Amino acid sequence: MLAILAPGQGAQSPGMLTPWLEIPGVAEEMATFGEAAGLDLTAHGTTSDADTIRDTAIAQPLLVATSLVALRALLAGRDAADVAGVTAGHSVGEFAAAAVAGVLTDASAVELVSQRARLMAEAAAANPSGMAAVLGGDPQEVTAAIEAAGAWPANVNGGGQVVAAGSHEAIAALAAQPPAKARVMPLQVAGAFHTPLMASAGEAFARVVEHWPAAPPRMRLLTNADGSAFLPHGEGVGNEVLARLAGQITSPVRWDLCQETMRALGVTGIIELAPGGVLSGLARRVLPDVPRVAIKSPADLESAAAMITDTTGER
């Protein structure tokens, strides 16, 4: 079974969209996405600097758009459900995964995540806060140290990586007294995402998704909430997916559980959509025997297509 994964915020880099624009039809696709987002995503993906695309309101729709450009280039007109059995995304990547599964159209995913991004940016501005990666250490001791500092474990990624989030004071306290045998690395993000400090964004976004068009998934779609799978074709499941996306804003990302579900499902190959690398790196530590391809540029499409052929027989 093939898994298609979509990366989360922090995977973006200046100019990452540039080589994709050489593929016929991508410029038009990006123009559609830009209109949906109310942003010049093409400019942000080609000429904007690192500080500009770090802005939550820009980073999130840019990442989802880039992942979906890579997806469509890879599939070349095929339905993702014909080549993959499961999809998942890390944090904001869940919006791209929802499009992979057919819950949202590509343009709808970009439009919806743009609203999420703006609401989260507003919440972050109202509650100055940040995040830090905690690498290594005993998992229980890491959690205890994060909570003792007054922060929350916002991303539990597996492979000895937990991301803490909280006020700047809490993150500083954690860095000053790190867990045993662990390193604390502050992250360049604008707020304490996936914590109660995002409550205003979560409540507002729940109202947005309440009437947003959604279809049932056409393949298993894993949720960051607990790693469980939304199953294909269930009545009303599309609306449940959107409700989970709203709840995700204030809840921890349990990528460790998503990876455990992939193991249990017997995933035999992983393709990480652009800008790939982070999730493939985590899989290397947690699912070392599963072949994987991280799509970073169009040069990686051939290897990803070969994995589809090897895993499914599709050409």
What does the DSSP assignment read for 162-201?
EEEEEEHHHHHHHHHSPPTTEEEEEE--SS-TTSGGGHHH
pTM over 0.85? The answer is: yes
What pLDDT does 50 receive? Answer: 94
Thinking of the domain 2-124+196-312, which architecture would CATH place it in? 3-Layer(aba) Sandwich (3.40)
Contact by Cβ (8 Å): 132, 164: yes
First-residue to last-residue Cα distance in the chain? 16
Q: For residue range 127-178, what is the model confidence (pLDDT) as tens digits?
A: 999 999 999 999 999 999 999 999 999 999 998 999 999 999 999 999 999 9
What pLDDT does 314 receive? Answer: 54
Q: How far apart are CA 56 and CA 190, in angstroms?
A: 7
Which tokens hold the place of 70? 């890579």
List b or e across 152-184, with b for residues whose CB sees 16 or more CB atoms inside 10 angstroms.
Answer: bbbbbbbebbbbbbbbeebbebbbeebbeebeb
**Catalytic residue of the set 44, 90, 114, 194:** 194
194 classed as catalytic: yes
**Catalytic residue of the set 48, 91, 114, 251:** 91
Homologous superfamily of 128-187:
Malonyl-CoA ACP transacylase, ACP-binding (3.30.70.250)
Domain spans, the chain: 2-124+196-312, 128-187
Whether 315 has a pLDDT exceeding 50, the answer reads no
